[in-house]
Structure 1
Amino acid sequence: MFRFEHPEFLWLLVLVPVILVMYAGLFLWQKKQLKAFSNPALLGRLVGGWAPQRKWLKAGLFAMSIGLLIIALANPQWGSKREKVEAKAADIMIALDISNSMMAEDVAPNRLARSQRIIERIIDQIKGERIGLILFAGNAYLQSPLTNDYGAVIMFLKGASPDQATTQGTDIGAVIDLAEKSFDPQNKSNKVLIIITDGEDHEEAALEKAKEAAQDGLVIFTVAVGTPEGSFIPKNYGLREDYLRDAEGKPVRSIVNTELLEELAQQGNGLFFTYQDDETMARAMQNRIDKLDKQQVEQRSFSEYESYFQPFLLIALLLLTLQWWLPNAVWRKKEKSSWI
C-alpha cells in the first residue's frame, strides 16, 4: 500500500510552475533592458558568450529540484509488512460534508478543516474497527471502502475539498443509501454511520431514510459543525476576495441546522454531538460502539511502512549542485584580428 506520510505538503508543488513563470519574466526583462541601453552593433560583442538556452536549463533544473524536495518532504511510503488477524469489530462509515457552506469561518479555521480534525480524533479513538470514508454534497461519493488501513483513510480525508463535489447541496439521504450499500448485506447488528455536516440545504427524505436504515440495524451518529450565528461563505477559499451571493447580490450566510441533525440521530438510534469537544465526543462514540454486537472478522492491515524520501532528496541536491555549477556563458576562443 502506497501513501504519503505528510500529504499536506504536496500542495507546495504549485511552486514549480510559479518558479518557471518568474524565471521567464526575469529573462524577458533582462533582454529588454539590454536592447534599451546597448548599441545593437556592440551588443553581440558584449554578450557574445552568453547562452540563453543555458539560462532556461538552469531554471528547469532549479524548478525540478524544488519539486523533488517537496515530494521528499511529503515522504512517500510503501507498506512493507501486512498482518492478518481475527478480531471482533464494528463497521463504521464516516461521511464528511464537502459542500461550499463547509468553508464558512464561524468555526476556526473553517468548518471543513475542523471536521477533518474531528475525524482524525475519532479514528484515533476507535482503532480496531473497520472504517470507510464517504464525501458528500449534492451527491455522495465513496472515497474509501471499509478497511483497517487508517493511513489510507486519513490520506483521502486530508485531500477533501468542495472542488470534488460535482453538485452542491447536502443530500444526507444519498449518504445513507451509499453507506447501506457499502456494508455487508448480512450485517444487521454492528454497522455505524457517522455524519459530520452543518446540515444546510438538506433533502427532506433524509429523516425517513434514517428511520428505515435503523430498522435494518444501522446506528447513525451526527456531528453538527457550525454556530447558530453562522458566517458568510468565502468565494475564493483563503483569499477572501468575496463571498458567495444570492440572486439579489447579498452575501449568503450559512447557519448550522442542529435541529435536523439531532432528529436524524434520534431516528437512527444514535447520538448527536456538536463540534466543541473532540475528545469527549470520540469517547462517547467508542462507548456506544462497544455495546454493539460485533462480528468476527478477518482484519488485514499494513503494520510497517518503509520511507522512500531519500532518492528524491539525493536527486534534488544533485540537480541543485549542477544548477549552481553550470555557467551562464559558453566561452569561445578569441578570433585573431585580421590586421595582425
Structure 2
Amino acid sequence: MFRFADPTYLYLLIILPFIAAFYIYSNFKRRKAIKKFGDPELMAQLMPDVSRYRPDVKFWLVFAALALTIVLMARPQFGTKAEKVERKGVEVIIALDISNSMLAEDIVPSRLQKAKMIVSKLVDEFDQNKVGLIVFAGDAFTQLPITSDFVSAKMFLESTTPALINRQGTAIGAAVDLAARSFTPQKGVGKAIVLITDGENHEPGAVEAVKEAKKKGIVVHVLGVGSTQGSPIPVPGSSNFKKDRQGNVIITKLNEEMCKELSAAGKGIYARVDNTNSAQKSLISAIDDMAKSDMESSVYSDYDEQFQGVAWLILLLLIADLMLLERKNPLFKNIKLFKI
C-alpha cells in the first residue's frame, strides 16, 4: 500500500506547469530576438562555444529536482516494516469480564467503561512490557494475542462490548485457563494475569484454574468492579432495566469475597475499583515489582518511509546540473553529446 504522510504539499505541484510555460515562452522570445540580429546558422558559427540545447537540459534537470523535492516534502510511504527491538519487561494478559452485569452504573460511567479506562491507562504505562487481551462472559476468547503493539491493544479494547459474546454468565475459570495458555514460552519473564470482573454468577472451577496458573509461575491479580450495595443493569438503547422471569428488576452486586479468594489463590493483589484511581495505581505498582527479563519483540509499522530513493534522485539531478555548463567545455569539445 502506498500513501503520502503529508499530502498537502502535493498542491505545490500546481505551480510547475506555470514555471514550465514561462520558461518555454521566455525561450521562444529569446530565440525570436536572436533572429532579428541575423541568420541563426551564421550566428552559431560566430559563437562556436555557445550550446543551443545545454540551457534547456539544465532547466529541465532543475525542474525535475524541484518536482521531486515537492514529492519528498509530502513524505512518500509504502508497505509495512517490522522492527525488532529488545525490551526488558514482563508479560501481562488482561482477562476482562464483559457480561451484562458489567453495564451497571454504580461505578461512573459504568463498570465496563471504568474497567476499559483502567486498562487503557495501564497500557500507556507499558513501554517495555507485552500485553494480551481476553474477554469473557459465559465463554472466553482471545481478543488480542500477547503483543507489544500497544496501539492495536487500545484499538481492540475500544471495540469491546457485551455483544461480542452471546452466552451470558461469568466463566472466570475458562478465562484464566485460556490466559495461562496464551503466554509466550520464554522462560525467566515475569507473567501475570489481570482479572477484571464483578465476580457475580461465576461458574465452578475459578479458584482451581487460578491455582493451576500459579503452579506455572503466573501471578493472578484481581480488580473487583462494582459496589457491594448493588445496582440495576440498564438495557442498552432504552431507559429500562433488566428484569428476571418474575418481572423484578435485577440488582447486580460485587462479589468481593470471590475476588479476594481468587487473588489469594493467585498470590496477587486485590483492588476494588471505585470512582478513584487507587485500584489502577495499586495494579501498576504490583506489575512494576515483578521480575523483568530481556524480551525480543517485533514491532510493526504500517508504512515505511521511502524518502531515501527520492532524495538520491534529487541529489543526482543537482549534481548533473552543476557539472553541465551552458557553454561547451574546451576540454571535451570532441565529445558530441549535444548539437551546436
Q: TM-score range by the shorter chain?
A: 0.5 to 0.7
2:220 and 2:268 in contact (8 A); partners too: yes
2:243 and 2:249 in contact (8 A); partners too: yes
Gaps of 5+ in 1: 2-76, 307-340
Aligned to 2:212: 212
Distance 2:194 2:168 in 1: 20
Structure-to-structure mapping, 1:43-82, within 5 angstroms? 82=82
The yes-or-no answer on 1:227 pairing with 2:251 is: no
Larger Rg: 2
Aligned to 1:173: 173
Aligned to 2:238: 239
The yes-or-no answer on 1:122 pairing with 2:103 is: no
Give per-residue Cα distances to partners, 1:290-327, cap 9 Å, x unaligned: 33333321122246879xxxxxxxxxxxxxxxxxxxxx
The yes-or-no answer on 1:164 pairing with 2:164 is: yes
Distance 2:147 2:166 in 1: 26
Structure-to-structure mapping, 1:139-158, within 5 angstroms? 139-158=139-158
Distance 1:239 1:200 in 2: 24
2:98 and 2:112 in contact (8 A); partners too: yes
1:182 maps to a residue whose letter is S
CA RMSD, aligned part only? Answer: 2.5
SS of structure 2 residue aligned to 1:270: strand
1:207 and 1:264 in contact (8 A); partners too: yes
Aligned to 1:270: 268
SS of structure 2 residue aligned to 1:182: coil
Distance 1:187 1:167 in 2: 36
Gaps of 5+ in 2: 2-76, 305-340
Give per-residue Cα distances to partners, 1:131-178, cap 9 Å, x unaligned: 000110011110100111111011111111111112100010001110
The yes-or-no answer on 1:286 pairing with 2:284 is: yes
1:188 and 1:216 in contact (8 A); partners too: no
Aligned to 1:248: 246
The alpha carbon displacement at 1:84 in A equals 1.7
Distance 2:205 2:155 in 1: 31
Distance 1:188 1:204 in 2: 32
Distance 1:277 1:299 in 2: 35
1:207 and 1:263 in contact (8 A); partners too: yes
The alpha carbon displacement at 1:238 in A equals 4.6
**TM-score, normalising length from structure 1?**
0.62
Distance 2:249 2:220 in 1: 33
Distance 1:177 1:92 in 2: 14
SS of structure 1 residue aligned to 2:146: strand
Aligned residues: 229
The alpha carbon displacement at 1:209 in A equals 1.4
SS of structure 1 residue aligned to 2:267: coil
1:107 maps to a residue whose letter is I
> Structure 2 vs 1, CA of residues 124 and 78 (structure 1 numbering), >3 Å: closer, same or farther?
farther
